[in-house]
Amino acid sequence: LEAFFTPKVLAGKQVLVTAGPTYEAIDPVRGITNLSSGKMGFAIARAARMAGARVTLVAGPVHLPTPRGVERLNVQSARQMLDAVALHVGEADVFISTAAVADWRPANSADQKIKKDGSGQTPQLSFVENPDILATVAHSSRAVSGQLFCVGFAAESHDLLAHATTKRIRKGVPLLVGNIGPATFGQDDNALLLVDEAGARELPHGRKQDLAVQLIADIATRLI
């Protein structure tokens, strides 16, 4: 019913969304991840679908139901997420990067479970940087030429406006959506700060589902 009353501002558009954390394996039974719940990204995928878009959702490991009518691809690592995005971004009009991608992964993931050897020695982990999915997409020719509209997200613990402004420019995206984290992780509520070239606009505190609808409406006005 809610979908029925939503204006179809994204009819005919293809939207690609990433959501949730990534999981970077240390060995077959252990890995590194983060506390992202995926709720904001899933809400955005749902809102985009209700607005009439065809929606592909690339999701890290989360236990959330797939929004009705959304095509979902499950991935674990940042590299798998990049591969899934690369496969689908070619047809997209909008890319919304809400995923909390792990910044680093273990340099070597063991084929077998790492065992204690009884000596009390601990394994020495070293890390390598993961690909930056958003920056990669935002620097693609379709994004640069304006055929693909890219939206970044940032959870910041302090100085939201300043960090979001810098991050928007560093990532090369026209719109960056900031929120105060990690307080909002796993919650059903949030408040968003939409930062673009002209300045910032706040979507005040509300349910993630409602904020997602407002954000989608805002993005729709930015498409040519």
Binding-site residues for CTP, in ranges, read: 103, 113, 131-134, 153, 167, 171
Residue 106 binding partner per list Ca ion, ligand CTP, none, with a CB distance cut-off of 5 to 8 Å that depends on partner kind = none
By CB under 6 A, the count of residues binding ligand CTP is 14
Residue for token pair 């809610």: 2
Q: Which residues contact 206 (CB under 8 A, 6 or more apart)?
A: 189, 190, 191, 214
Catalytic annotation on 34?
A: yes
Stretch touching ligand CTP by CB under 6 A, among 4-12, 130-138, 141-149, 195-203 = 130-138
Binding residues: 103, 113, 131-134, 153, 167, 171
User: Which of 14, 37, 56, 97 touches ligand CTP (CB under 6 A)?
Assistant: 97
Stretch touching ligand CTP by CB under 6 A, among 58-66, 112-120, 132-140, 201-209 = 132-140
**C-alpha dihedral (115, 116, 117, 122), degrees to nearest 10:** 110
Per rule CB under 6 A, is residue 89 in the interface with ligand CTP?
no
Per rule CB under 6 A, is residue 42 in the interface with ligand CTP?
no
Structure tokens at 187: 């919650």
Q: How far is CA 62 from CA 42, 57, 153, 185, 202, in A?
A: 10, 12, 18, 13, 28
Element (H, E) at 31: strand 30-32
Per rule CB under 6 A, is residue 130 in the interface with ligand CTP?
yes
Interaction residues for ligand CTP, span 147-206 (CB under 6 A): 152-154, 167, 171
Q: Which of 34, 108, 130, 190 is catalytic?
A: 34
From the list 22, 12, 62, 14, the residue with the least C-alpha distance to 42 is 62
Q: Which residues contact 97 (CB under 8 A, 6 or more apart)?
A: 17, 18, 133, 134, 137, 150, 151, 152, 153
Stretch touching ligand CTP by CB under 6 A, among 26-34, 55-63, 125-133, 211-219 = 125-133
Please, what is the minimum distance in Å from the beta carbon of residue 178 to ligand CTP?
9
Separation between Cα atoms, residue 207 and residue 200, nearest integer Å: 20
CA angle (222, 36, 62) in 5-degree steps: 100
Residue 152 binding partner per list Ca ion, ligand CTP, none, with a CB distance cut-off of 5 to 8 Å that depends on partner kind = ligand CTP
Could you list the residues that contact ligand CTP (CB under 6 A)? 78, 97, 99, 101, 103, 130, 132-134, 152-154, 167, 171
Indicate which residues carry an active-site annotation.
34
